[in-house]
């Protein structure tokens, strides 16, 4: 592939990037795909300590990576924002939307959103907790990832966490949610 990029760092820790893949060939599942051209424009702003944000737009061709791969055209939009109300507490929100259709537009392979909230709190320099909450409209599921971390010394860390996929939104039992209470 050939990758062309124009990048500009602006005042106040702001940046803008424009990139293009004029030549991009890839072999996937034994099939050669040619002319997978895409363009991207992205920006970020870290001007303030308590708030930062960014986003990107990617348009072009990509492979529908399924059992029967096909070259398609589509776009992806993403945005993010981080809020730090105190030095120990941080909230990061990410949004992604992607869609891919056949080159002629007759069939849509996929189209959906992913919303993600990462909440982190540092009790001390050694203890912190994190909770990632995510909604995936592609699979219509909520994912929760709580984590507690302890750093005993610079070479030893302990983690305790859980991953939970909630895909059916029907309550079961009195006050329950898919056997969760």
Q: Which of 61, 67, 43 is nearest to 53 (CA)?
A: 43
What is the rounded CA–CA span in Å between residue 120 and residue 91?
Answer: 7
The label of the residue with tokens 């912190």 reads: 128
Residue 12's pLDDT is what?
85
Cross-strand partners of 64 = 70
Give, for all 181 residues of the chain, the pLDDT tens digit: 888 999 999 988 999 999 999 988 999 998 999 989 999 999 999 989 899 999 999 999 999 998 889 999 999 999 999 999 999 999 999 999 999 999 988 999 999 999 999 999 999 999 999 999 999 999 888 889 999 999 999 899 999 988 776 655 555 555 555 554 3
Q: Is the dihedral of CA 67, 71, 75, 77 positive or negative?
A: positive
Residue 180's pLDDT is what?
46
Q: Is the dihedral of CA 67, 1, 105, 95 positive or negative?
A: positive
> Are the CB atoms for 120 and 129 separated by under 8 Å?
yes
Residue 103's pLDDT is what?
92
């Amino acid at each position: 592939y050939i990758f062309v990029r124009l990048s500009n760092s602006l005042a106040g820790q702001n940046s803008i990037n424009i990139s293009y893949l004029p030549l991009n060939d890839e072999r996937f599942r034994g099939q050669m795909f040619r002319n997978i051209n895409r363009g991207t424009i992205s920006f970020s702003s870290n001007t303030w300590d308590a708030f930062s944000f960014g986003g990107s737009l990617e348009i072009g061709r990509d492979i529908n990576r399924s059992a029967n791969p096909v070259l398609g055209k589509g776009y992806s939009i993403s945005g993010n924002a981080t809020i730090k109300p105190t030095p120990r507490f941080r909230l990061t929100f990410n949004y992604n939307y992607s869609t891919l259709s056949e080159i002629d537009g007759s069939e849509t392979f996929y189209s959906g959103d992913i919303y993600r909230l990462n909440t982190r709190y540092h009790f001390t320099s050694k203890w912190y907790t994190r909770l990632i909450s995510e909604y995936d409209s592609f699979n219509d599921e909520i994912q929760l990832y709580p984590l507690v971390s302890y750093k005993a010394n610079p070479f030893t860390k302990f983690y305790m966490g859980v991953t939970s996929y909630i895909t059916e939104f029907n309550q079961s039992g009195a006050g329950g949610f898919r056997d969760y209470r």
